[in-house]
Structure 1
Amino acid sequence: MEQLILSFIEFFKQFSYAGIVLALTFEFVPAELVLPLVGYWVYQGDMNLIGAVIAGTIGGTTGPLTLYALGYYGGRPLIKKYGKYFFVKEKELEKAEAFFEKHGPAVAFLGRFVPGIRTLISIPCGVAKMNVWQFSIYTFLAMLPVTALYIYLGMKLGEHWQMAGEVAKEYLLPIGIIIIGIVLIMSVSRYIKAKKAQEF
């Protein structure tokens, strides 16, 4: 399966930076596979690092927009019926919905760093009719550092670009811990505000 996906990604290389955007727009293609490979293309001298990061971040925004649109125009009934064709699992969707209900629109940014919901968080954002520009900006800002990290690692690892995922975990873990900390602070803050409101 991975080899098939790699062949699919390689096909888009002929379209240069636009090809990176196109490859990432298909949500079933893991960005963790695309971006280090793009980094390897930078290592080979076929692409520029800055151009690759910009294209990767744009693709990392247009991809989630497809799931956002699915939620926005189809709602939950359509997701339940056709979600399997987009590799959407019911359990993961429920997690993403619960996360959205707790933290509101900010999840379009925060959710990108939380394993298990980072991809599917786009759907509840769409179902809730979140402003599309707000969603896109939050997603772009979240994807920029992640994209830069994976492409940079792919470039530095060169022939061993496939190891980028393992190396990235070392960097993403502390970021994830910080994000979880922010989420917890937000939850406690909301709880305290709700308690005070009840008292009055």
Structure 2
Amino acid sequence: MEEFILSIVENFKELSYFGIMLALTIEFVPAEVVLPLAGYWVYEGDMTLWGTVLAGTVGGTFGPLTLYALGRYGGRPFILKYGKYFFINEEKLNKADEFFAKNGGMVAFTARFLPGVRTLISIPCGMAKMNVWSFSIYTFAAMLPITFLYVFLGYKLGDRWKDVGELANTYLLPIGIGVLVIFILYKLITKSRKRQK
């Protein structure tokens, strides 16, 4: 399956930065494959680092909007019936629901850093009818450092760009937890100050 996806992504290379953006807009093409490969293209001198990061971030923001729309306008029954075509099963959907219920609106940002939840969290955001602009801004803000990490590691590892996925996840999980902790502390401090007034 990965070889098939790689063959598709290689064709997008001909479209340069627009190709990277387009590949990431298609949700069944994993960013974990596209971005390290794009980093390798930077290593080869075919693209610039920041141009690639920007294209990847924009594509990584547009892509989740498709799953957000599925959640918002199709609802859970639709997702359970047709989700298999997007590699979504009930177990994955339940995990995304659970994470969203625990973490509220900030989930569109925080969940991007957590492997296994990153993509599917868009669905409960849509089902909860989260404001689409807020969803897009949070998604863009999270995708920028994530995209940079994957592209930069692909660039640094060069011919070994396929090793990026496992390496990146070791960074992203603690970052995601750290971001969540900071957000919770911020909320607690804000509530405490309001009570004092």
Q: TM-score, normalised by structure 2?
A: 0.89
The CA deviation at 1:124 is 0.8
- Give SS of 2:27's match: coil
The CA deviation at 1:73 is 1.3
Distance in 2 between the 1:32 and 1:109 partners?
17
Residue identity over aligned pairs, in percent, reads 65
Could you say which residue in structure 1 is the equivalent of 2:3?
3
Distance in 2 between the 1:171 and 1:86 partners?
27
Structure 1 pair 170/77, CA: closer, same or farther in 2 (3 Å)?
Answer: closer
The CA deviation at 1:93 is 0.9
Identify the range of structure 1 (72-81 vs 175-184) with the bigger mean alpha-carbon deviation. Answer: 175-184
Asked whether the 8 Å contact 2:115–2:173 carries over to 1, the reply is: no
Distance in 1 between the 2:174 and 2:105 partners?
23
Identify the range of structure 1 (156-165 vs 93-102) with the bigger mean alpha-carbon deviation. Answer: 93-102
The CA deviation at 1:103 is 2.1
What code does the residue aligned with 1:78 have? F
Could you say which residue in structure 2 is the equivalent of 1:56?
56
Could you say which residue in structure 1 is the equivalent of 2:166?
166
Structure 1 pair 91/10, CA: closer, same or farther in 2 (3 Å)?
Answer: same
Matches within 5 A, 1:1-150: 1-150=1-150
Asked if 1:177 is matched to 2:189, the reply is: no
Cα displacement string for residues 147-193 of structure 1 (whole angstroms, at most 9, x for unaligned residues): 00110111111111111123223422431331353476589x5xx99
The CA deviation at 1:50 is 0.7
Distance in 1 between the 2:21 and 2:69 partners?
17
Unaligned runs of 5+ in 1: none
The CA deviation at 1:106 is 0.9
Distance in 2 between the 1:173 and 1:126 partners?
24
What code does the residue aligned with 1:61 have? T
Distance in 1 between the 2:183 and 2:117 partners?
14
Asked if 1:152 is matched to 2:152, the reply is: yes
Asked whether the 8 Å contact 1:103–1:186 carries over to 2, the reply is: no
The CA deviation at 1:100 is 1.7
Distance in 2 between the 1:173 and 1:64 partners?
20
Q: TM-score, normalised by structure 1?
A: 0.88
Distance in 1 between the 2:147 and 2:175 partners?
14
Distance in 2 between the 1:145 and 1:21 partners?
16
Cα displacement string for residues 63-84 of structure 1 (whole angstroms, at most 9, x for unaligned residues): 1111001111111111111011
Asked whether the 8 Å contact 1:68–1:122 carries over to 2, the reply is: yes
- How many aligned positions are there? 192
